[in-house]
């Protein structure tokens, strides 16, 4: 028996392991590289998703900031609308007394200032008689027959509606036309007694 030197032992071990062992180590290296690439792809995907979420968050915050500035005075304006309604009632009463009175003229000037103020704030009024009824803007309090306006048109405005930019702050309360009254004939509602 030959004594084996320590230098020969590793060579013998490699030779003894054969080509299958080298291939197995190569496959293991390939599998490890493939797993590492998959892990890298997964982390890249997570990073991209996180970046997209952050960008969406920034956009949403920017949009909310713009909306907060745009609609920040909405609460104050909503509190002002009933005061304007009452002022209009007073203006109408003063007009019925005399359109030439100093009170009516003064109230008209104040009403003009209020209207200009609302316009400068981006507020528009709606709900005028003759407009088409829109359930998104108007609340129909009542329906009446009308020979002057077709079905679905506003006959009377009981309370004006207000919109700030594209947001409805208060719906208008209106009376809506049903169109002309049906003709009373021999079989009509009046003859049924």
Local confidence pLDDT in tens for the 193 residues of the chain? 555 554 555 555 555 555 555 565 667 678 888 899 999 999 999 999 999 999 999 999 988 888 777 778 888 899 999 999 999 999 999 999 998 999 999 999 999 999 999 999 999 999 999 999 999 999 999 999 999 999 999 999 999 999 998 899 999 999 999 989 887 755 555 544 4
Domain range for 38 is: 16-71
Judgement on whether residues 27 and 54 belong to the same structural domain of the protein: yes
Alpha-carbon distance of 126 to 159, in angstroms, equals 10
Q: Would residue 117 count as lying in a domain?
A: yes
Extended beta strands in the chain, E state: 123-126, 138-144, 154-159, 161-164, 167-170, 172-177
Alpha-carbon distance of 150 to 166, in angstroms, equals 28
Judgement on whether residues 117 and 128 belong to the same structural domain of the protein: no
Judgement on whether residues 133 and 170 belong to the same structural domain of the protein: yes
């Amino acid at each position: 028996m030959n004594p084996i030197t320590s230098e020969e032992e590793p060579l013998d071990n490699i030779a003894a392991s054969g080509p299958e062992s080298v291939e197995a180590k190569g496959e293991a290296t390939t599998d490890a590289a493939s797993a590492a690439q998959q892990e890298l792809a997964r982390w890249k995907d997570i990073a991209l998703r996180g970046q997209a979420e952050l960008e969406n968050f920034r956009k949403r915050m920017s949009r909310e900031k713009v909306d907060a500035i745009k609609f920040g005075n909405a609460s104050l304006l909503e509190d002002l609308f009933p005061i304007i309604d009452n002022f209009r009632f007073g203006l109408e009463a003063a007009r019925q007394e005399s359109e030439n009175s100093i009170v009516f003229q003064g109230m008209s000037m104040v009403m003009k200032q209020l209207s200009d103020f609302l316009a400068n704030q981006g507020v528009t009024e709606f709900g005028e008689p003759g407009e088409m009824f829109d359930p998104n803007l108007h609340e129909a309090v009542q329906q009446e027959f009308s020979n002057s306006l077709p079905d679905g048109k506003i006959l009377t405005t009981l309370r004006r509606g207000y919109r700030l930019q594209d947001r409805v702050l208060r719906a208008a309360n209106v009376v809506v036309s049903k169109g002309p009254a049906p003709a009373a004939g021999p079989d009509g509602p009046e003859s049924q007694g």
